[in-house]
Chain A
Amino acid sequence: AQTVTQSQPEMSVQEAETVTLSCTYDTSESNYYLFWYKQPPSRQMILVIRQEAYKQQNATENRFSVNFQKAAKSFSLKISDSQLGDTAMYFCAFMSTGANSKLTFGKGITLSVRP
């Protein structure tokens, strides 16, 4: 079974600074997807970024980028130029490419952006 670990429960960053959120996972599969989801106080789950394991290039979406280290099974999220609206809980998630395409989530990290 796959597991996803987010060991930092909380982080804080100054507005306009850069912050990195850590995530590690465990799987025996060679191909899979990894995601970061954002859950603001509204509780809506918002897809931030996606990475396919067979792609070596790290995904980027505007101010959000990932550092995907397949051998180390590490998938960190970097948020550049942090904004107050980035304050939220962030979940790392794993998904197999097989028939059972459920998302397995980490426990999440609460990010606070300070003005």
Chain B
Amino acid sequence: DSGVTQTPKHLITATGQRVTLRCSPRSGDLSVYWYQQSLDQGLQFLIQYYNGEERAKGNILERFSAQQFPDLHSELNLSSLELGDSALYFCASSPRDPSGAQYFGPGTRLLVL
């Protein structure tokens, strides 16, 4: 158990819908990262937050957005869902000091029908 929690574990929805994925980082970790794992794209970085502020953006679609709240949990919002958005979405957190390691949650498996 990495200490990072993600809900829900599984999500099945229809095209055009909107979903919210939730992540709670390890206690004391200020950074939260979101990654997408799909068969064709592999593991891709989406976005990073540090202590409530956006720090870096990757290949995140405009239909996707995220935020980190004062209690440091983070949410990833996916809207106007398409079949190709079906993937495993991971949240990871890292400690305040620059130790480098990122610890991953169990992921949310999204299936868009």
Contact = CB atoms under 8 A, between A and B. Distances in A.
Interface residues of A, number: 23
Interface string A18-44: 000000000000000101010000111
A100 interface: yes
Contact of B45 (A37, A97, A99, A102): A102
B101 A100 contact: no
Nearest to A34: B100
Nearest to A44: B106
Interface of A: 33, 35, 37, 42-47, 50, 52, 91, 95, 97, 99-105, 107-108
B104 A95 contact: no
B2 to A, nearest CB: 8
Given A50-B101, A52-B100, A103 B106 contact: no
B56 interface: yes
Contacts of B107: 43-45
